[in-house]
Amino acid sequence: MNLKDKTVIITGASSGIGKACAEKFAKQGANLVLAARQYGTLCEIKQDLEKRFNIQVIPVQCDVSKEDECQNLIHQAVSTFKKIDILVNNAGISMRALFNDLDLVVLRNLMDVNFWGAVFCTKYALPALLKSKGSVVGISSVAGYHGLPGRTGYSASKFAMNGFLESLRIENLKTGLHVLIVAPGFTASNIRHVALIKDGTAQGETSMNEDKMMTADHAANLIVDAVIKRKRTLVMTGQAKLTLFLDKLLPSWLDKLIYNHFTKEKDPLIK
C-alpha cells in the first residue's frame, strides 16, 4: 500500500505510540486526523508535521469514551478529506491496583476508553472504510492475550478489543476491509504515569524501568509497516512473543512467571 494522500485517523495522538505513529504516517505522505483530549498539544503537533512533511493535519479534541465526540471525529475527517483509509484505535489508559482493593469505577473507565472508544470510532468510520477497502487498527496489548496481576480492568478491556476486532475481521472477509491487531509488549510511554490506582486517580510515577522498554518510535515504525503490508497481527518485543507462545503451550507455568515478574515492580502489589 502506498500511503501518500491516504487519510489516517489516530486516536490518543498527543503522546506515546499515537504521536509517534502520526509522524511515521506523515513521513509516508498521509494526511492526518489527530484525536486526543489535549487539543493544544495536537495543534503543536499539527504545525510541526505540516511544516516538515507538506501534508494536511486536522486536530480534533475528542474523549473517545463519549460516543458523540467519536461521531464528531469521524464526521470531521469525512467532511475534510471525503474519505477514510486507515483508523488507528490507539487511545487507552492503564491501571495498577489489585481487584480486591479497587473502586469499580476504575474498571468502568478502562472499558469506556479502551473498549468502547474503539467500538464507537470503528462504528462511525466503517462505512467510509468499507468504501475505501481500508484498515482498522487496534492497539491492544499482550495483556489482551494473558491476564496480568494488578491490571484486571486493562486486561479485560484488551481481551474485549481483541474479540471485537477478530469478529469484525471475519464478518468482512469478503469486503476488502483490513483488520490489524497490534500487541505491544512493554513500551516506553506515559501510559503508566497516568495509570489509574485503586481510587481512580493517576499514580503519577511509573512502577517499571522504562529505560529497558521498546521506544514508541520503534513501535510506530513496526505498526506503519504492518499497515502497509496489511498484516493480520503484530506482536512486538521478544518478551511479548514468548508470552503468547507460553500462553498456548504452558499456561500454568506462565502464570507463575508473570507472578514472579510483577513481584519485582517498584512497590509491588504482590509479593
The residue assigned the cell 465526540 is: 69
Residue type, 262: F
Q: Hunting for cell 478491556 — which residue is that?
A: 157
Single out the catalytic residue among 124, 145, 154, 259. 154
| H or E element in which residue 266 lies | none
Active site residue 259: no
CA 67, chain centre distance (Å): 17
- The CA distance from 70 to 62, in Å, is 7
Instruction: Please tell me the distance from the alpha carbon of residue 187 to that of residue 205, in angstroms, as a whole number.
Output: 15
7-11 vs 86-89, strand pairing mode: parallel
Nearest to 3 by CA among 181, 135, 144, 186: 135
**Contacts with 18 (C-beta within 8 Å, 6 or more apart), sequence order:** 10, 11, 12, 34, 36, 88, 90, 91, 139
Neighbouring C-beta atoms of residue 253, cutoff 10 Å: 10
Cβ burial, residue 72 (10 Å; 0-12/13-18/19+): middle
Active site residue ranges: 154
